[in-house]
Structure 1
């Protein structure tokens, strides 16, 4: 059964939902769950990856969900969407809207480093504005990571530290990205809520609520599961509400640098087994400040592809589908971290 608030933007325009959140927060899992509950609706997905390996797009394309055709998923891997709006996003939106059967809803999964506000602004481009609207901005947070104090720095404290320490010549970019994402949100989802006890979860929600300069609903979820009727149909028309969504980068019209981050792809032996590999990855994540690991393994005794995902020192793996006859069985990971990653040391530890 289709929920009316999932299908109607209230303006006659095709609604688009921007899903933002830091690396490993669970955005792709949320998108997959939404597709599974879509009831056959025509939903298009734009996936923006940071890195050279299309893991998130491939996970969605191979989801096996009825009605989820591969041409409904568009990958934009040429750079962060908020930096490539004119080159990538606007032409992609035009192509989707010009289809004989345009989508009924568009989900946009940004990279973990994207600032939402420049993307929201792009919806004021005349051709896009005439046909689409930002139904809502969803910020997906890794509840356990945020509760542990990562990516939630106090801007005032950072400013005071900068003033007191002449050696500190820049603000924490992770904190700025995090704050820009929650400031732009119409709904904040505390994902992986099962990793926190109820008191810690309530304290986290209260703390985040204080950081956002307007009333925004904060919900706790596990494994990206939420009723699409809550996620979609917010009718926020965010492109008309930019002033209420402050950004650290407003003064420079959304411009920002990603020079603090880098990623590389690592080919592994086909004999790699998930458990020993994860043991080594946990140690490497602590030694080398690795932020995110994701990819596929091809254990020789398994007919199914093994997906491996990691955030900091937390890793999981599962087998998602058989390898197709037209694709090579190979094990590959993309490793994402702050600039200065010791690629040689990481590669040697994982391939020897």
Structure 2
């Protein structure tokens, strides 16, 4: 997957179009979020691809005109439905942009409520034209705070959407108590320890929070790449969640359901660089044995003989080309690897990570588990 040959000349600027995948279960609030994005002008011109206009519920006050199945918005953004297949729709938009008929700087793909995001992420990589012209900028999952727990209990698709997210947005928090919201936030953090969880307030949400979520991009800041591969801070419990706010709030908790226990995540930190052959063998073995169940693998890895680290990322058996972090500074040469998987127990993940540990000096390895479910 990553070898010393991968370290070479790299253009200073990535000219591929950033793509954000917006997912969330039925009724979570994707439509509200889309309308907020399409009404904004500070993020530049955006192409939004939705499954059906009827489902999208676009705010007609924001629509300027409709041309050739393309809805043009007053903000300069545009919106279209998926015609045929996703790859064909994106390729058509890019071709029309290159010909000067459309203008946009980024793409949002809104999935159906029941959709598994993995095939969309893979499409962006396995289609040769899309791999050349687009890059994954982040996966955003909207969760209905009022009904989120019930949805997670009943629908494993919703659990997978949470587990794969870079950013989780809790909607409708104004409809429920802070205590219930805190409990749901803790549950979401358990399913995906690396995702940032936000509670946007209506009228105060900045769409720019949706951009630049992936650490796998050229020129990414060192601190952003590290944050992308480490555990996010645990959600803060509202001290005023009780009636008076004067007594110590009770800790929030939830009983893990069978759906939750199907998701496991673990991480390893390696203090010294690893041989590229050892890393590739570990990754190839993990994919061969458990590929369909690997929701995401991501990390920063230092290889022997190379001064700068690589950022890597994969979904199931499909991986992005690794990106060297040429602006890395300081003496920190630790590799950080995160695996989020479905239907793998913690011991299975641990045994996999032990393959990497075996190639480290006995006194120079630190391994930590972010979270796992037995």
Q: TM-score, normalised by structure 1?
A: 0.52
| CA distance in structure 1 between the aligned counterparts of 2:22 and 2:13, rounded to whole angstroms | 20
Q: Is the counterpart of residue 44 in structure 1 residue 24 in structure 2? A: no
Q: Is the counterpart of residue 234 in structure 1 residue 225 in structure 2? A: no
For structure 1, list consecutive stretches of 5 or more residues without a partner in the other structure: 1-8, 79-86, 154-173, 251-352
Q: Is the counterpart of residue 67 in structure 1 residue 46 in structure 2? A: no
What is the aligned counterpart of 2:31 among 23, 28, 33? 28
Equivalence for 2:136: 134
Q: 1:235 to 1:10 in 2, by over 3 A?
A: farther
What is the aligned counterpart of 2:87 among 85, 90, 93? 90
Deviates more, 1:55-64 or 1:181-190: 55-64
For structure 2, list consecutive stretches of 5 or more residues without a partner in the other structure: 1-11, 64-72, 218-295, 297-311, 316-337, 345-374
Supply the RMSD in Å over aligned alpha carbons. 2.9
Equivalence for 2:157: 177
- Between 1 and 2, higher relative CO (CA 8 Å, sep ≥ 6) is seen in 1
SS of 2:88's partner is helix
Deviations along 1:155-179, whole A, 9 cap, x unmatched?
Answer: xxxxxxxxxxxxxxxxxxx521011
Q: 1:222 to 1:24 in 2, by over 3 A?
A: farther
For the 8 Å contact 2:141–2:167, the answer to whether it is kept is yes
Q: 1:245 to 1:11 in 2, by over 3 A?
A: farther
For the 8 Å contact 1:123–1:133, the answer to whether it is kept is yes
Q: Is the counterpart of residue 190 in structure 1 residue 173 in structure 2? A: no
**Structure 1 position 15, deviation (Å):** 0.6
Equivalence for 2:21: 18
**Structure 1 position 23, deviation (Å):** 0.5
Q: Which has the larger radius of gyration?
A: 2
**Structure 1 position 56, deviation (Å):** 3.5
- The structure with the greater share of residues assigned to helix is 1
For the 8 Å contact 2:41–2:75, the answer to whether it is kept is no
Q: Is the counterpart of residue 216 in structure 1 residue 216 in structure 2? A: no
**Structure 1 position 191, deviation (Å):** 0.6
For the 8 Å contact 1:38–1:228, the answer to whether it is kept is no
Equivalence for 1:113: 114
| CA distance in structure 1 between the aligned counterparts of 2:158 and 2:203, rounded to whole angstroms | 19
For the 8 Å contact 1:117–1:245, the answer to whether it is kept is no
**Structure 1 position 11, deviation (Å):** 2.7
For the 8 Å contact 1:40–1:66, the answer to whether it is kept is no
For the 8 Å contact 1:33–1:225, the answer to whether it is kept is no
**Structure 1 position 39, deviation (Å):** 3.1
